[in-house]
Amino acid sequence: MEKGLTLLQDCRDFLHSLKMRSKYALFLVFVVIVFVFIEKENKIISRVSDKLKQIPQALADANSTDPALVLAENASLLSLSELDSAFSQLQSRLRNLSLQLGVEPAVEAAGEEEEEEGKEEPPRPAVAGPRRHVLLMATTRTGSSFVGEFFNQQGNIFYLFEPLWHIERTVSFEPGGANAAGSALVYRDVLKQLFLCDLYVLEHFITPLPEDHLTEFMFRRGSSRSLCEDPVCTPFVKKVFEKYHCKNRRCGPLNVTLAAEACRRKEHMALKAVRIRQLEFLQPLAEDPRLDLRVIQLVRDPRAVLASRMVAFAGKYKTWKKWLDDEGQDGLREEEVQRLRGNCESIRLSAELGLRQPAWLRGRYMLVRYEDVARGPLQKAREMYRFAGIPLTPQVEDWIQKNTQAAHDGSGIYSTQKNSSEQFEKWRFSMPFKLAQVVQAACGPAMRLFGYKLARDAAALTNRSVSLLEERGTFWVT
């Protein structure tokens, strides 16, 4: 009887979630369209505004030889200047907003801002240092949970663990094609709002929909200290079950308003994302005057990544497992190899763009190999903080000391507590050579770029005195 009831309830829930899903899909389409419009309009306005700034100059140069021309120019100037005033109002609103948020606008591109405008600005509070927005850009099984902790453990940083999970969850995107571009735009724009502490943007993607800005379904809340400390941790409410609850204490459901306030109070913002595939999509964030973006791209030997994924996501890698177990006859399905190659290439292309340091990315990009972090966690943490322009506190150093020298492996697939200098090349001794070969064939260009050496044969793969890692200095330029 009771079973029947719960079944009915389950059915209802399922139908409800289906309805929600289609609603989200509609919402998403709407969001994408709006983004496209906003982008277009932004471009038009800034182009018009650029023109406008040139016109008086041109007039002065011409020094008004032809009064008719001046008249005509004046006429068009009038309507243009209306547009321009709208534009400067918008700019001033943005500036006000960033001041409200305690965000120090990034150093504006030289020459873009007129000098008088700079003088009109009220002096900024001298105490608050410049706010940094750190994106830890990774893929799954590259040690990003561990490296993310470097930022999570510091008290003055508001850290979010994989907030984009909710977006991927709500509307599933097909890989490749227009949808992938669409999802990249949505990820990017949600990311931007999150960096601005607009956490409400996530609510649209949380199922079930939060009520009164209250949710029990914030993904991996427990992995974000900032969401589990006072005052964001409200008194525990009986019978409310949070799937991703805080680890060391019991809290009530997450009040998104409180979380957003905490975000604004903290000096810096950091988040980790394994769902941002292409660095070039981040250009608008790097150029947004309200943000001071720092991208840390974390990579790892693709052989190790595959070995780790086959354990962590066994279901998804069934065909690989079958191919390994099957003594020989069937080859691996081409589409699987293609997917592996695609993943490696997108990582390589992003890194190449980053290392090329185009103007919009200058000083904002750092490449980090997981293996270097594992061998020298403290040193790498210091480098990352130096790159981010944030002073490292003893809090983080202590955490690193405690968590990289544990004698025994921590439990769970997302465990971060391990003897890291022992751990990083464990995969070599359990990986069948033919699997390593497939990866080496598909990911050669990426491996070359990052300094992962190919193993020539099975003996080299398992021989401890053969290093598969080229020593590289730091991969960043200031």
**CB-based contact 184:281 (threshold 8 Å):** yes
Rounded distance, CA 16 to CA 7, Å?
14
Q: Mark residues 421-440: x for contact with ligand NAG by CB under 6 A, - for none.
A: xx------------------
Question: What totals of helices (H) and strands (E) does the chain contain, helices first?
Answer: 18, 7
**Radius of gyration of the chain from Cα atoms?**
26
DSSP 3-state percent helix, strand, coil across the chain (nearest 5): 55, 10, 35
Q: Which of 405, 417, 437, 474 is in the footprint of ligand NAG by CB under 6 A?
A: 405
Q: Mark residues 107-146: x for contact with ligand NAG by CB under 6 A, - for none.
A: ----------------------------------------
Judged by CB under 6 A, the chain residues 318 through 337 that form the site for ligand NAG are none
Rounded distance, CA 149 to CA 154, Å?
9
Neighbours of 432 (CB within 10 A): 13
Question: What DSSP state is assigned to residue 103?
Answer: P
466 touching ligand NAG, by CB under 6 A: yes
Q: Mark residues 181-220: x for contact with ligand NAG by CB under 6 A, - for none.
A: -------------------------------x-x------
10 vs 117, beta carbon nearer ligand NAG:
117
**Hunting for tokens 């007039």 — which residue is that?**
59
Q: Which of 5, 71, 107, 359 is in the footprint of ligand NAG by CB under 6 A?
A: 71
Rounded distance, CA 54 to CA 48, Å?
10
Nearest distance, CB of residue 110 and ligand NAG, angstroms: 24
Q: How far apart are the first and last CA of the chain?
A: 68
Nearest distance, CB of residue 74 and ligand NAG, angstroms: 4
Nearest distance, CB of residue 315 and ligand NAG, angstroms: 32
**CB-based contact 267:157 (threshold 8 Å):** yes
Nearest distance, CB of residue 171 and ligand NAG, angstroms: 27
Q: Which of 115, 407, 430, 473 is in the footprint of ligand NAG by CB under 6 A?
A: 407
Neighbours of 109 (CB within 10 A): 11
Size, binding site for ligand NAG by CB under 6 A = 23
Rounded distance, CA 278 to CA 276, Å?
6
Nearest distance, CB of residue 78 and ligand NAG, angstroms: 6
Among the residue ranges 85-93, 273-281, 329-337, 391-399, the one whose residues contact ligand NAG (CB under 6 A):
85-93
| Binding region for ligand NAG (CB under 6 A) | 60, 63, 71, 74, 78, 89, 92-93, 96, 212, 214, 255, 257-258, 405, 407, 419, 421-422, 459, 463, 465-466
